[in-house]
Each structure stands twice: as C-alpha cells, then as structure tokens.
Structure 1
Amino acid sequence: MFFLSAVTALPALALERPFPANTKRGTMSPAPYPQIFIEGKLRALSPGARIWNEDNLIQMPASLRGSDFVVNYTEDAQGDVDRVWILTVDEARQSIARQTNSPSR
C-alpha cells in the first residue's frame, strides 16, 4: 500500500523550473562550439555558458543531438548566450510570461 501511494504521489513532486525575468524564447540547433543557432542565426555562447536539458541536467554543447529544440535562454551584457534551458513539451506550451520570475506573473 505504501509503495502504491508513493508512486502515485511522484507526479505531484514535479517542480517548475524558475526562469529569470529577462528570459527569451526561441528554437535552438547545435553548431560547432562555442556557437549555437537560435532562430536560425549563429550566436556565440559566453565562456561560462550552461545548457540544461529537459531533465534539468547540464548538457555539454558538443553532446547535443537533434535540432530545433524549443528553449528559454538569457544573454549576458555582451549579447552572448549564457544560459539555455531545453524545454519539455509541457513547458513549451506555456507562455514565457507565466514561466518567468517577473512581477507581471
């Protein structure tokens, strides 16, 4: 009985990922490091850039397989991409305004 209740409670433990207020939405495809394509434009990754996959685990840019990932991303002061979150299907369906830590939420 305990096992059954624990298994049915797991979906309730799913946490929403917090995204900063300056987050943008786009589609991403891999490119030779240290670059990526966002919205079909070649963009530079900042030196400390991080990419999180759908499971919220760090993904190395060279290990990305596929294309046209729906992502949320942020840029640093120089305009380079510094953080990228590959979205799940459910996250991609939500508006970005609903996902960000902004006062308009």
Structure 2
Amino acid sequence: MYRCALTLALAATCVVAQAQTHRTFPANALRGELVITQFPDALLNGKPARLAPGARVKGDTNLWIAPAGLAGQKLVVHYTVETSGLLQDVWVLNPVELANKPWPTTPAEAASWTFIPGNQTWVKP
C-alpha cells in the first residue's frame, strides 16, 4: 500500500513538473491565437478555421481537453495542420512555452528559420 501511495505521489509530481517546462513540439508546429467559436469552427489568427474530425487538443498541463469546452476563449497555441487545411494537433501553451520566442507563425517563417529540436527553439536567418 505504501509503495502505491509513493508511486502516485511521484506521478503527480511529474505532471506538475511537466506543466512548468517545455513540451516537445514537431518542427511543423506554428504559433497562433485560437478561438473556438462553435465546434468544430474556430478563428485562427482572426481568420476562419476548422478542427479536423480527429483533432487533438491538449491543455497547458498536457492533458487532453474537449475542444467544445474551450468555446469563446482566446488561447495562444501551437498547432499543426492537415494537408486538407484542417487543424490537427493543438497545444494550449503554458507560461514557460509562451516565453520561448521566436516561434514561427506562418509556414513561410518556418521554412526560412532553423528549428533546433533538442531545446525546442527556432533561429532566424
């Protein structure tokens, strides 16, 4: 019983620690402002967007969130887009991740900047 309690306490500590650090994002993730209007419709950087049928949304603690529960909130996120143009993966950023600048906001910026996956940073040319 003691071992189970200790394991749960360590797991909870890891979740809290994860929320305070950088998550690993793919090189094709862009930064933007997302407002879910009426699921699956949204505004991404003020322009109409739509979440894909299998879209995954993770909160700032890296736990999955139902997108409909975020309706009306302005969120700074990292996101990926399917080839069809629909939003596929969305991560709501925590304060540490928000401070990680620069981060590309357009595919053109991502194509011209250099991504360093080890420390999750971008270098402008």
Q: Distance in 1 between matches of 2:90 and 2:39?
A: 14
User: What SS does the corresponding residue of 2:62 show, helix, strand or coil?
Assistant: coil
Give the structure-1-normalised TM-score: 0.76
Q: CA deviation at 1:61?
A: 1.1
Q: Is 1:92 aligned with 2:98? A: yes
- Tell me: higher relative CO, structure 1 or 2? Use CA pairs within 8 A at least 6 residues apart: 1
- Length-normalised TM-score, structure 2: 0.65
Structure 2: 5+ residue runs without aligned partners? 1-8, 105-113, 117-125
Give the whole-Å Cα distance in 1 for the aligned partners of 2:31 and 2:81.
12
1:75 to 77, 81, 89: 81
Which deviations, in whole Å up to 9, do the C-alpha atoms of 1:20-47 show, x marking residues without a partner?
Answer: 1101100111211111111111101111
State the percentage of identical aligned residues: 34
In structure 1, how many angstroms separate the alpha carbons of the residues matched to 2:29 and 2:115?
Answer: 14
- Residue from 63, 74, 98 that aligns with 2:69: 63
CA displacement 1:22-76 (0-9 Å, x = unmatched): 0110011121111111111110111100100011011111111552211000000
2:49 to 36, 43, 46: 43
Q: Secondary structure at the match of 2:55?
A: strand
Q: How far apart in 1 are the matches of 2:51 and 2:96?
A: 26
Unaligned ranges ≥5, structure 1: 1-5, 98-102
